[in-house]
Amino acid sequence: MTETLSKFQKIPDREPPSSTVGMLAWVRINLFGTTTNTITTLLFLYVIYLFLPPFLDWAIFNANISGSDRSVCDENKSGACWTFVKVRFEQLLFGLYFATNPDQIWRPITALFTFGIILTPLLFEKTPFKKWLLLILLTAYPVFFIFIVYGGAFGIPVSDTGQWGGFLLTFALAFVGIVLALPLGILLALGRRSQMPVIRALSVTYIEFWRGTPLITILFMASVMLPLFFPSGVDFDKVVRAMIGITLFQSAYTAEAVRGGLQAIDKGQTEASMALGLGYWKRTIFIILPQALKISIPAIVNTFIALFKDTSLVSIIGLLDLLKMSQSASRSLEWNGYDIEGYLFAGFVFWACCYGMSSYSQKLERKLDTEGRTE
């Protein structure tokens, strides 16, 4: 009987053809694969050739950085005037109070450095006690920041928030906006999907109201209208008002980003956790949110990046954030005419922060991908 069965023989695996692997093959296939592809590649190279060398000449090779006033720049107009950024560096980063009180400049520097020191280990996968570090960053750090930057205790002179400016202000607004809007947004997203009609209606109303109002309007309201509702003696801080406005606005956007993630979770996940006897909060915290937040990382980070850039709208209520500070510095008598350098610097700082957030979110997505969804 058995002699009629032929034995199954496995063909051994072979290497792919050498013309399809390696650097050169990649270039040939991806950059010069078809006629259209080749034309696009060449056109693109030509555009780079046209614009990149002159820009590099201006920004780097012919640029001025020496000296401490505009005389060097005025002599050599063919290059950028980084001298301006160098001389006004403290002002651009920390605002007028710290720029004019050099003995106090250690305060914002310490505050931002501490942030970097706590944040950096969080970015690496192998760091132990990550949860505790994150907790410190979200709770102890803000207290430390106020204590050291605002001052008022232990002989540290008060730096009024109205005097905060530059990157320091941008950072403070974005930090508060992001840290408070995420939990608020998660609660709103859960509320919008709640079985209870009252909670659902409240969440929908909140989200649609704040999402339908421009941030500029909200900042105006926070700055002009809000004081009208308080007795004349009570005047609470302009920066705090901006922070509240930004947080309320941002939480509506975050809520919608999180809702997108919640909707993508299969109903079976809820059913399986219900069937195990897990109550609403337990299944939300352990089963639904971890998956939903993972899916919504790109959308959430997108709203955070938007928020980070939107903080520059506070200039409308008279606060000097990084962008406005660059503008006003380059319009001062000493540096009038060098606003391109100011804008480029501000733009670069914004870009670096946003690109950092974006890269981290991509890394996080890959790390949390236990289902092999992304390549």
Partner 1 sequence: MTSASASKKSTKNQISPIITINKLNKWFGKFHVLKDIDLEVNKTEKIVICGPSGSGKSTLIRCINRLEVHQEGTIIVDGTELTDDVKQINEIRSDVGMVFQHFNLFPHLTVLENCTLAPIWVRKKSKLEADELAMELLTKVRIPDQAKKYPGQLSGGQQQRVAIARALCMQPRVMLFDEPTSALDPEMIKEVLETMIELAESGMTMIVVTHEMGFANKVADRVIFMDEGQIVEQNDPKNFFNNPKSDRTKLFLSQILNH
Q: Which of 114, 269, 302, 327 binds partner 1 (CB under 8 A)?
A: 269
320 has which bridge partners? 165
The span from the CA of 206 to the CA of 189, in Å, is: 11
Two tokens, residue 53: 């060398």
Report the C-alpha gap between 70 and 99 in whole angstroms: 19
Partners of 166 in the beta sheet? 321
> CA dist 260 to 189, 255, 373, Å?
9, 9, 17
How many CB atoms are closer than 10 A to CB 103?
Answer: 8
Residue 372 binds to partner 1 (criterion: CB under 8 A): yes
In the complex, minimum distance from the CB of residue 131 to partner 1, in angstroms, rounded to a whole number: 16
Query: Which of 74, 160, 271, 334 is close enough to bind partner 1 by CB under 8 A?
Result: 271
Tell me which residue has tokens 């996940």: 269
Interaction between residue 282 and partner 1 (CB under 8 A) = yes
Decide: is 279 part of the binding site for partner 1 (CB under 8 A).
Answer: yes
Q: What is the DSSP letter of 156?
A: P
Whose Cβ is closer to partner 1: residue 233's or residue 372's?
A: 372
Binding mask 66-105 for partner 1 (x = CB under 8 A): ----------------------------------------
Size of the site for partner 1 (CB under 8 A): 22
287 binds partner 1 (CB under 8 A): yes
Beta carbons of 159 and 151 less than 8 angstroms apart: yes
As a residue count, the chain comes to 375
The minimum distance between CB 280 and partner 1, in angstroms, equals 8
Of the residues 17, 268, 374, 375, which one makes contact with partner 1 according to CB under 8 A:
268
CB of 272 to partner 1, least distance (A): 4
Query: With CB under 8 A as the contact rule, which of the stretches 32-40, 79-87, 268-276, 334-342 interacts with partner 1?
Result: 268-276
Q: CB of residue 301 vs partner 1: minimum separation in angstroms?
A: 19
- Binding flag, residue 366, partner 1 (CB under 8 A): no
Which among 341, 178, 234 has a CA at the least distance from the CA of 226? 234
Alpha carbon distance 358, 363 (integer Å): 9
Binding site for partner 1 (CB under 8 A): 266, 268-269, 271-279, 282, 286-287, 290-291, 294, 368, 370-372
